[in-house]
Amino acid sequence: MKTPNGVIEEKLKVNQTNETAEPTKSVSCCVPNAQPEPEPFWERYRLVLATALCASFLVTGITLDVLKISQWLVYLFYTGAYIAGGTLSTLEALRALREGVLNVNFLMVTAALGAAFIGDPRDGAILLFLFSLSNTLEHFAMGRTRQAIQSLMKLHPNEALVRRANQELIISVAELKLGDMVLVKPGERLPADGKVVKGNSSVDQSPITGESIPVEKEFGNDVFAGTINQQGYLEIEVTKLVQETTLAKIIQLVEQAQAQRAPTQRLLDRFGSYYTWGVLGATALAILIPLAFGQVFHHVFYRAMVLLVVASPCALVISVPASILSAIAGGARRGVLFKGGAHLEALSTIKVIALDKTGILTTGKPRVTDIISLKGRDENTLLGLAAAIEKQSEHPLANAIVTAAIERKLIVPEATQFQSSTGLGVKASINGQELYIGNEKFFTTLGKTFTEDIKHKLTSASAQGKTCVLLGDSQILGIIAMADTLRPSAPMAITALHALGLKTVMLTGDSESAAKAIARQLGIDEVRAQLLPEDKVQAVKALQEKYGPIAMIGDGVNDAPALASATVGITLGGAGTDVALETADVVLMADDLQKLPFAVQLSRQARRVVKQNLVFALSVIIALITANLLNAPWLTLPLGVVGHEGSTVTVVMNGLRLLGYKTKN
């Protein structure tokens, strides 16, 4: 059995070096001050120019042919159409042949040359024009997924206004250092990740987190490079170098994801190679068998060339990447990052979602929920005394008490003569009154008695998942109950997951009472509490055996082994630790759990679109092959190309719908 660390290392290797991934260029955004270099004019428009030239030569040749003007000029213009429409395809075919691969370019060029061989160059020229036009349409359609990356790169400003040594300087973002003070005016993009140290404003974070509404930012709030400052002035302390920003990580993750092929795509790639050889074999038989029975060579060869075209697997092969890449890019636009097509496909198959409690379902920050007075003092007085004692402590519960006092705008008195008992509580003096604050054990050691009423109140609070501290002097004056608050998006997210037919299970290291209290509020199906990291791994495996594929969402180092063990590991981009971010397969950038059901719906829609494309592509191929074998007179070479290339463009356009996919409410 693998240890948790072993599981993490294995998952990291899969995420970082996928042997099925195509080679990718280095992530230009991660190089400081790098913007995507524009493609050279010829590289960008060569398909358009080739298609336009081919069309011009073809139309001129057909016109001259109809007008019966100089047959050698007709052939000259058809030759020009062959050169313009076939050169790029021939080069691609030769490049593939050097690698031992036969692709659709080889089939199309062969069919066009075959048409010329039997004295029908017009149909061959039409074939090359339609094939070139189809490639052009595919190039620009698939370019929309590439633009999703390029548009992200353009979000990063090249320069930043900083204050150094009481001087304001404009410098390259590459020169920014940790601790630099960046000045951001209204309407400007933020050049770096950091914390607000002065000013307040609303910031449009949609490019990073997918949030549609600007978020208010004030002192101490985190901000991200690439987001847009709205109306206020902000001074920001840089906390991450440009190559380490959230924006840089997003671009890197999406580029890596687009390079990793989904299992269905890898299967089709392997099938496509064998299929192409099969098409060539079938074409040869379509020539030899009829000739053996004495049929006319010209007619037999022409029908074989039509078969070569209509049986080509172009639409079949492009149907999967067109959908997967569009879904990955569409998810990135809305704050959901898939680290590869394999994870997108896997998420569509899950039956159960396991969720960590602290930091995922809850904020991880306790808040005061109840102030129970036992001796007639009002709540604000008790809270003020407690805050006076706790305001010098860094303990999360102490911070919750102080925060509650600040929110109520209480005047907090000064406390002196502090004496701390680690893990128990604190003794202090306020206006000459000796006070104690701490847990039950602390007051037991002080010899304080607990009435049945106090015991009942403590037991009741504990059953609700709340943590209590007691405040007292010679007797217990009151109880302050605190609880980890629900993440605002959690209730709707759990409801949406249930509506998708998914079972929800909480896996937490917290106490059973606290876990069940949160589960009751959210309607979670099953709770497993007091789990160590290795226990979470075993729980994930047990759930997988019982229900099938499982997704695990967590944010901490202790969740990383379980994330690695799950079918799909998911984490939150803002709240997640670096280990969780590296181990997870899917990242929700907005710390918004409602992105989780969206991710599931997107993956399911992508699977549906892939199936639609595969069925459509296969149906067209089968229908055209059948028509060819039945010797249908209407199936000419140009019409065969229209059917073949039309189906290719159709599946690409169908896949591109995923770029703008939105959930149905």
CB 435 within 8 A of CB 473: yes
Q: Are 499 and 513 in contact (CB under 8 A)?
A: no
**Which of the residues 65, 193, 356, 510 is marked catalytic?**
356
How many Å apart are CA 161 and CA 182, to the nearest integer? 6
- 631: helix, coil or strand? coil
* C-alpha closest to that of 602 among 634, 570, 642: 570
Angle between helices 121-153 and 71-98 (to 10 degrees): 50
Decide: 324 and 606 in contact? Cβ < 8 Å: yes
Q: Please tell me the distance from the alpha carbon of residue 616 to that of residue 619, in angstroms, as a whole number.
A: 5
Q: Which two tokens stand for residue 625?
A: 């092959």
Residues 175-188: b if buried by 16+ CB within 10 A, e if exposed: ebeeebbbbbeeee
Contacts of 543 (CB under 8 A, 6+ apart): 352, 354, 505, 550
Catalytic (active site) residue 525: no
Closest CA to 620 of 652, 638, 605, 642: 642
Question: Apex CA 658: angle with CA 653 and CA 662, to 5°?
Answer: 135
Q: Which class for 634: exposed (0-12), middle (13-18), buried (19 or more C-beta within 10 A)? A: exposed
Write the DSSP assignment of 294-344 as a string of letters.
T--HHHHHHHHHHHHHHT--HHHHHHHHHHHHHHHHHHHHTTEEES-HHHH
- 93 with 109: CB under 8 angstroms? yes
Contact by Cβ (8 Å): 584, 556 = no
Active site residues: 356
